Structure 1
C-alpha cells in the first residue's frame, strides 16, 4: 500500500518541537514501513532537517510552514497556503492520504478525495459536513467519533470510524524509584487547567502533605501552543511559596519518560471547550505507572475507568478547585489504592501499543484501498 501523511503547518516531523499529533504519526508512519508499506510523510520544514530524506523506510518531504499566529483567522489562512503546497507535493500514485489539516480535505477532490483519511484530533466545529466526499473520517476517541456523526446526515455515518491514539513510544525498563510527585505534562494554556491544578495544590499544602512536590512540564510560549507570557506570569504568581518545580518544555522521549516513571500521580485537568480529543500525555504517564487524575471530559473515557486505572473529578462543579483537591487528597492518603491503580494503569501498554494501533489503522485503510494480490510486495520506492 502507498501511504501519504500530510502533517500540519506549524510543527515539524520528527517532533523536535513537540506536538502530540506529530509524535503519533511520526511513529505510525515508521510502523507502516515496518509492515511493508511505502510511506511518504509531508511536514513543515525546520532548521537542521533536510528538505527530503529517508529514515527507517519512510520518505520525509519538508515544505515551508509557519509559526503559530495569535489570530485564528490568520492561522486558517496560513494553513491554507501550506495545504496547497502539501497537496502539490503529494506523489502521483498514492492509495491512502492521511491528514489532520483543516484545508487538505477541501482541496483533495474526485478520485483523490476518496483516498483521504481525515484524522480528527480535536472537537469538530462544523467542518465535518464539508468532508462528506472523503474515504474515512477517523475519530481518535468515541466522543470525537460521535461529534463527527452529529455534524453529518445519517447517510454519511458510514464514513465515521474510531481508532484510539497509541502510546507513541517504546516502553523501557527503568530502575527509578517512584516519588511523591504530582506531575503535569502539556501545553501551559488555560484550556489545560494548569491554574486549576495550582490552586488545588495550594489547598493540599494547607493540609500539610509533606513530601509531595508538583512538577510542571510543558511550553508556555504562544508559538508552541502555550498561553503566552501573561498566562505564564499568572501561573508563577499562583505557585509562589509552594513546592512547585517548573521544568519547561521537554521534547526528548528519554527525558520525558523519566518524569513519568518518577511520578506517583499524573494530573490533567483539561477544561470544557478545550477541544481535547484524545490527549496522549495521560496514556504516556499511565504506561509508566503514574495514576491519572483527570477532568470528566468524554475524551478520557475510552481508556480511563474511574477507580479502576485512574480517577475523575467534577470539572463542572462551581468549586472545581475544591473537587480536584479532594480527589487528589484521598489518593495521596491511600497508598494501597495508589499502588492498585498504578498496577492497572500500565496495562495501556498492551491495548494501545504501536503495533496494535497500526493494525487498526490498516483495517481502516482497507475501507479506502481494499486488499489486492500484490499488496504483499509493495513497490520499493515512491515517486516524489
Structure 2
C-alpha cells in the first residue's frame, strides 16, 4: 500500500532537534518501507536537510515550518500555514494518510479524509468531533483512548484503536548489569510540569556516591521552560553531584547514557500533559529501572514493583516518597536488577517491528472495509 505520513510544523525528521513523535515516526516509516510498502514522509524543512530525498526506502518531502512559538494562538496559526503546504505534497493515489497535526485532516478533500489515520498523541481538548470522517483514530495509551471516548458518541468508539508508541531503536546488545554505574538519569524537556524540582530535592538527601544526570532542552522553542527556569534548577542543585548536559539529539550518545545508568527517574506532574512517556520506555530497554509519578499513562507499561516503581507525586510528602523510592533501588542491588530484568522485556512488547505490524493490520482493515462499502453501494 502507499502510505503518507504528515509530521508537525515544528520539529524536522530526521529528529535532529529531538521530539518523541518525530523519533517514533521516523523509524516507523522506515519499517513500513522495509515491509514493502511505499512511504512518503512529509515534514518541516530545516537547514542542511534536502527538500526531497530518499532514506532507507522512504521518500522525504520537506516544506517550510517554524520554531515553536510561546503563544498557543500563534502556534495554531503557524500550524495551519504549514498544513496547507504539507497536504499539497500528498500523492493522489495514496491509500493511508497518517498525521498528528491539528489541521491536516480538516484541510483534505472529502475523498482523502476517508483515508486518514489521526494519530492522537495528546489528550484531546474537545476537537475530536472535527475528525468525524477519519476512519481511524489511533492513540498511544489507554488514558488518551478514554478521553477520546468521552468526546464521541458510543457508535463512533469503534474507530478508536490503541497502538502504543514503539521504541525508536532495535537489535540492542545484551545488558551486563554489573557494568551499570551509580547514575540516576532524567531525559526530557526541562519544564516545570516535569517535576524536576522534586527530583533534585529528593536526590540531595540521598547517597552522595551517586550522580544525577539531567538531559534535555530548556529553550522555549524546543518545549522547555526557558533560561530563567534552567538557572533556577541549577541554583536548587547547588553543589550536589548533578550534571546538566543540555539536549542530546544524537541517539547513539543518548543510548550510551541509558546504557550506563542504573535508575531512570521521570517525576512528571503534568496531569493533562503526559500521554505515554517515551523516555521511560527507552530507558527500560537499556535496563534502567524506571521510577515514575502516579500518572495513569505510565500504567500501560510500568507495573509497580514488577518492572519499575511508582510514587505519589500528588502527596504533600512527594519529595520524601520519591527519595525513598530512589534509596530503595540504590541500597538493594538484587531488587534493582530483578526489576531491570523485567523492564527490558519492552524490547519485544514495544519493538518497531511489532508495533508497525499493528499499524499495518489496522490500515488493511480500514482499506478492506472501504472496499466492502463501495461494493455494497454498487
For the criterion TM > 0.5, the same-fold answer is yes
Q: CA deviation at 1:273?
A: 3.0
Please say if 1:234 is aligned against 2:236. Answer: no
Name which of 179, 184, 187 aligns with 1:185. Answer: 187
Matched, 1:196 2:184: no
**2:3 equivalent in structure 1:** 3
Q: CA separation in 2, counterparts of 1:9 and 1:43?
A: 7
1:1-384 correspondence to structure 2 within 5 Å: 1-173=1-173, 177-204=179-206, 209-370=207-368
Using the TM superposition, name which of 270-279 and 53-62 deviates more: 270-279
Deviation, 1:40, is 0.1
SS in 2 for 1:215: strand
CA distance in 2, matches of 1:159, 1:93: 23
Distance 1:175 1:318, change over 3 A: closer
- CA gap of 1:327–1:252, structure 2 versus 1, over 3 A, is same
SS in 1 for 2:53: strand
Distance 2:240 2:171 in 1: 32
Distance 2:199 2:104 in 1: 37
Partner Cα separation in structure 2 for residue 35 and residue 66 of structure 1: 32
Residue-by-residue CA offset, 1:208-234 (whole Å, 9 max, x unaligned)? x13111000111111111111111111
- Which deviates further from its counterpart, 189-198 or 4-13? 189-198
Deviation digits for residues 177-209 of structure 1, max 9, x if unmatched? 2001010001111111112211111222xxxx1
Note closer, same or farther for the CA distance 1:255–1:169 as it changes in structure 2 (3 Å cut): same
**Any unmatched runs of 5+ in structure 1?**
374-384
Say which SS state the counterpart of residue 88 (structure 2) adopts. Answer: helix
- Asked whether the 8 Å contact 2:194–2:270 carries over to 1, the reply is no
CA contact (8 A) 1:167 1:349 kept: yes
Give deviations 1:318-362, integer Å, cap 9, x for gaps.
221122112112221211110100111111001111100000011
- Could you say if the C-alpha distance between residues 372 and 297 of structure 1 is closer, same or farther in structure 2, counting changes exceeding 3 Å? closer
CA distance in 1, matches of 2:318, 2:370: 54
Give the drift of 1:122. 1.0
Larger RCO (alpha carbons 8 Å, 6+ apart): 1
Q: Conserved in 2, the CA contact under 8 Å of 1:96 and 1:368?
A: no
Native 8 Å contact 1:79 1:103 kept in 2: yes
Runs of 4+ off more than 3 Å = none
Range with greater deviation from structure 2 (165-174 or 31-40): 165-174
Per-residue CA distance 1:258-309 (angstroms, 9 max, x = gap): 1111111000011133511111111110001000000111111111111000
Q: What is the CA–CA distance in structure 1 between the aligned matches of 2:203 and 2:260, rounded to whole Å?
A: 18
Q: Secondary structure at the match of 2:204?
A: helix
CA-CA distance at 1:175 after TM superposition? 7.8
Shift of 1:245: 0.9
- Secondary structure in structure 2 of the residue aligned to 1:172: coil
128-137 vs 173-182, greater mean Cα deviation: 173-182
Greater mean alpha carbon deviation, residues 69-78 or residues 363-372? 363-372
Q: 1:7·1:22 contact (CA, 8 Å) conserved in 2?
A: yes
Unaligned runs of 5+ in 2: 372-378
Cα distance in 2 for partners of 1:78, 1:276 equals 23
The TM-score with structure 2 as length reference comes to: 0.95
User: Alignment partner of 2:368: what SS?
Assistant: coil
